[in-house]
Each structure stands twice: as structure tokens, then as C-alpha cells.
């Protein structure tokens, strides 16, 4: 059985308060989740995240807003992050999500700056041996989850279809 990271548990000093929200040194365990309001309030997935985290003692305050200010807050690292996605046929898509050069632009909205992670992402870009490349990206995935840079929630199946002549093949 895998142990939870200590920083997320009572071992790190975060004890449940009278309302169930964890506190440490008088500070409540709160995060601000940036969410797009499409006109009907926050998406059900965002509300599910809020509810699920409340159950373990984390208060999630939703900042729901229209898409343009949502993007601006992400670029400025003004919240604790948005619900986001990665659609890429290659794991190099992780570069945009986690390389420190992408903070303030592109999609590094976790606002992480980690030299070891940068090095791994750069190494993944340079490696052409499939087995070595896979090992690098699995290590990146482990680091991202262990450091709570992201919390994977689901894996949507994306189906990509191309006409044969567009894919460079003859019919």
C-alpha cells in the first residue's frame, strides 16, 4: 500500500478544525480553484472537486469567471490553479504544462519552477530511443503526482481521424 505524502496528512501538522477543515498554526487549509463560468455557474466537475476535497478537510473556494479573466488569472498565477486538460499524441505536451520557461504564458498554470523537472522535460525532448523516452516520461509523471503539481482526475478518450490523403497515404 502506498503511503500518502506527509505534507497532505495530519503528520504534517494539519489537524481537523471544528468545522472539519484542517488547520495548522491558526491557518486554514484553503485553495482557490479558477473555474470558467459558461453562464450557468461552475461546471459540475469543479463542484465535485470542491465537495471531495471538503470531505478530507480542504476548503476549496471557487473563483468562477468568464474565459478572458480566467486566462489572465492563470497567466499571472493568481489562484491555486484551474481545472485543465492535455490533449497531445506525444508526452512532450507536458513541456508546456510544467517547464519553468512557460510560467506566465502558454499553459504552465501550476506555476511550477523546478530545475530537476525542467532537466527531465528537456531530456525527454532530446531522447529518441522509445524505451528510454518512456522511462523519462514515467519519471516526470511520478514527480508531478508526488509533488502534487497536478491531480489527474480522468482520462478522456480522444479519437483522431484523418482522411487517407491528408495523412500522407494514398488511397
pLDDT by residue (tens digit) across 22-65?
999 999 999 999 998 988 888 888 898 899 999 999 999 999 99
Residue 169: pLDDT band (50, 70, 90) is low
Do the bridges between strand 59-65 and strand 30-36 make them parallel or antiparallel, or are there none, so unpaired?
A: parallel
* All domains in the chain, ordered by first residue: 1-83 (3.10.105.10), 86-150 (no CATH)
Residues 125-142 have a mean pLDDT of 96
Q: Indicate whether 171 pLDDT > 60.
A: no
Contact (CB, 8 A) for 143 and 117: yes
The span from the CA of 47 to the CA of 55, in Å, is 13
Reported pTM: 0.73
Phi, psi (5° rounding) for residue 157? -80, 120
Mean pLDDT calculated for residue range 140-149: 89
80-126 residue pLDDT tens: 878 777 777 789 989 988 999 999 877 888 888 999 999 999 999 99
Q: Give the DSSP per-residue string, 110-149.
A: T----HHHHHHHHHHHH---HHHHHHHHHHHHHHHHHTTS
Amino acid at each position: 500500500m502506498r503511503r500518502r505524502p506527509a505534507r497532505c496528512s495530519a503528520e504534517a501538522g494539519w489537524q481537523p478544525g471544528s468545522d472539519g477543515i484542517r488547520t495548522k498554526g491558526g491557518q486554514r487549509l484553503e485553495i482557490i480553484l479558477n473555474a470558467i463560468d459558461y453562464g450557468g455557474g461552475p461546471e459540475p466537475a469543479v463542484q465535485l472537486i470542491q465537495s471531495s476535497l471538503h470531505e478530507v478537510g480542504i476548503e476549496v473556494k471557487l473563483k468562477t469567471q468568464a474565459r478572458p479573466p480566467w486566462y489572465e488569472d492563470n497567466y499571472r498565477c493568481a489562484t491555486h490553479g484551474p481545472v485543465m486538460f492535455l490533449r497531445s499524441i506525444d508526452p512532450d505536451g507536458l513541456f508546456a504544462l510544467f517547464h519553468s520557461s512557460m510560467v506566465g504564458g502558454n499553459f504552465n498554470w501550476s506555476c511550477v519552477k523546478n530545475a530537476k523537472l525542467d532537466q527531465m522535460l528537456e531530456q525527454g525532448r532530446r531522447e529518441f530511443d522509445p524505451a528510454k523516452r518512456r522511462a523519462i516520461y514515467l519519471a516526470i509523471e511520478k514527480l508531478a503526482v508526488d509533488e502534487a503539481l497536478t491531480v489527474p482526475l480522468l482520462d478522456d478518450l480522444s479519437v483522431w481521424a484523418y482522411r487517407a490523403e491528408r495523412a500522407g497515404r494514398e488511397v
